[in-house]
Amino acid sequence: MSWIVRMAAPDDPVTTDAVIARLWDLGSTGVAEIGPPAVDGPQLLAGFDDDATAARVADALGGTVERVAEVVVEPPPGLVRLDGPPTVVVAHPDRLDDAEAHGSDLTLTIEAGPTFGHGAHPTTHLALEAVLGLADTLVDATVLDVGAGSGVLGILAARLGAGVVATEIDPAAHEWIGRNAAANDAEIEVGPTDLTGHDPVDVALVNVLLPVHREVAADVVRLARRHIVVTGVRDDQVDEVVELYGRTVLEDRSRDAWRLLLLDGTPT
Ligand SMILES: C[S@@+](CC[C@H](N)C(=O)[O-])C[C@H]1O[C@@H](n2cnc3c(N)ncnc32)[C@H](O)[C@@H]1O
């Protein structure tokens, strides 16, 4: 078990270097600087092996603490800086008990490259938690991961036993989806972004921004039979999104002004 302290990165590189040096002094096991498109503004993530130290660091430097299964930041080990999103660990802060119930091998290592979905964004975390919450229903289920980015959500679903088709409008991401799937012993098929000819699925995972929800909601509602996991939505966009999908909201979770809705796939 590890803890990540997340904080806004200072505006200037000199102060950022000083904060990173301080994080190492305070016993961090790995420090990453990440920026858009994964997060709204530059952030520093620092891993710690114990919660008390993480809490002290968060108090001292103004950050928040997240519990994860493991901190893996590479390359290189003991990394100082990366230009883009780091290879991150995905684990899920709040659903570790669920993961443990499904075996201890659910930690994913995702190399996001230029894609979205290295696991540090609140919407990705919320969606991973939702997938874990559905774990019991995912064995032999079919899953459509719309806007897969690095493939992180579909990969977790595949590791939980689902057959997964991912769609991603950015062709550069397709290679990373394949690479991450292979690295995590998961099989993911990349399918067309035009969903009109897609077969029905049990679960749809949709972490995209509002304009994309407007594009895909009707197709997703038609295709998903059991559950729809919707995120990428801000607090002030929820009403429109609920209306777009027109399905019963089973769960409504929030983190940092981002929301996740678990929708019942069956027509109301
Ligand atoms: C917020 S990211 C989510 C990535 C990942 N699923 C996660 O949860 O971290 C949304 C992704 O949707 C992709 N995207 C945007 N419009 C799309 C569309 N119409 N069909 C498929 N993918 C789309 C973007 O390129 C981006 O990678």
Q: Distance (Å, rounded) from C-alpha 155 to C-alpha 176?
A: 12
CB of residue 231 inside a 6 A radius of ligand 1:
no
Answer whether 127 contacts ligand 1 (Cβ < 6 A). yes
pLDDT tens-place string over residues 40-49: 677 888 888 8
The whole-number pLDDT of residue 205 equals 98
Residue nearest to atom 23 of ligand 1 (CA): 147
- Give the percent of the chain with pLDDT over 90: 46
The answer to whether the CB of 122 is under 6 A from ligand 1 is no
Residue 37 tokens read as: 């498109």
Q: Whose CA is nearest to atom 12 of ligand 1?
A: 147
pTM score, two decimals?
0.71
Determine the straight-line distance between the first and last CA of the chain, rounded to whole angstroms.
Answer: 41
Highest mean pLDDT among 13-17, 64-68, 79-83, 182-186: 182-186
* DSSP element (H, E) containing 30: strand 30-34
From the options 1.20.120, 3.30.70, 1.20.1630, 3.40.1350, give the CATH code of 2-86: 3.30.70
Of the two residues 62 and 13, the one the predictor is more confident about is 62
> What is the rounded average pLDDT of the residues 238-243?
98
Does the beta carbon of 212 sit less than 6 angstroms from any atom of ligand 1? yes
Is the model more confident about 164 or about 114?
164
* Residue 208 CB less than 6 A away from ligand 1: yes
Q: Per this entry, what is the length of the chain?
A: 268
What phi and psi, each to the nearest 5 degrees, are found at residue 239? -60, -45
Q: Which pLDDT value is given to residue 39?
A: 59
Determine the Cα–Cα distance for residues 224 and 8; give it in Å rounded to an integer.
Answer: 37
For 204-265, the DSSP string reads EEEE--HHHHHHHHHHHHHHEEEEEEEEEEEGGGHHHHHHHH---EEEEEEETTEEEEEEE-
Residue matched to tokens 């032999």:
140
Integer CA distances (angstroms), 250 to 15, 133, 217, in order: 44, 12, 17
Phi, psi of 21 (to 5 degrees): -60, -40
Average pLDDT score, the chain:
81
Instruction: For the chain, give every domain's residue range.
Output: 2-86, 113-264
Average pLDDT, integer, range 152-162? 91
Quick check: 142 and 223 in contact, CB under 8 A? no
Cα(146) to centroid(ligand 1), Å: 6
| pLDDT at 11 (0 to 100) | 81
Check if 101 has its Cβ closer than 6 Å to any atom of ligand 1. no
Strands, E, within 60-200: which ranges? 64-68, 88-90, 108-110, 142-146, 163-167, 188-190
Order of strands, edge to edge, in the sheet holding 30-34?
30-34, 43-48, 2-8, 64-68
168 lines ligand 1 (CB under 6 A): yes
Looking at 53-57, 113-117, 234-238, which range is the least confident one?
113-117
More confident site: 244 or 120: 244
pLDDT value at position 35?
63
* Substitution site in 209, 212, 214 for ligand 1 pocket (most atoms within 8 Å of beta carbon): 212
Residues 6 or more apart in contact with residue 118 via CB below 8 angstroms:
34, 38, 85, 86, 87, 88, 90, 110, 112, 124, 150, 152
Mean pLDDT for the stretch of residues 252-263: 92
What fold does the segment set 113-264 form as a domain?
Rossmann fold (3.40.50)
Distance 56 CA to ligand 1 centre (A): 36
- For 232, left (φ over 0), alpha (ψ -120 to 50), or beta? left
Nearest CA to ligand 1 atom 11: 147
- Name the pLDDT band for 118 (thresholds 50, 70, 90): low
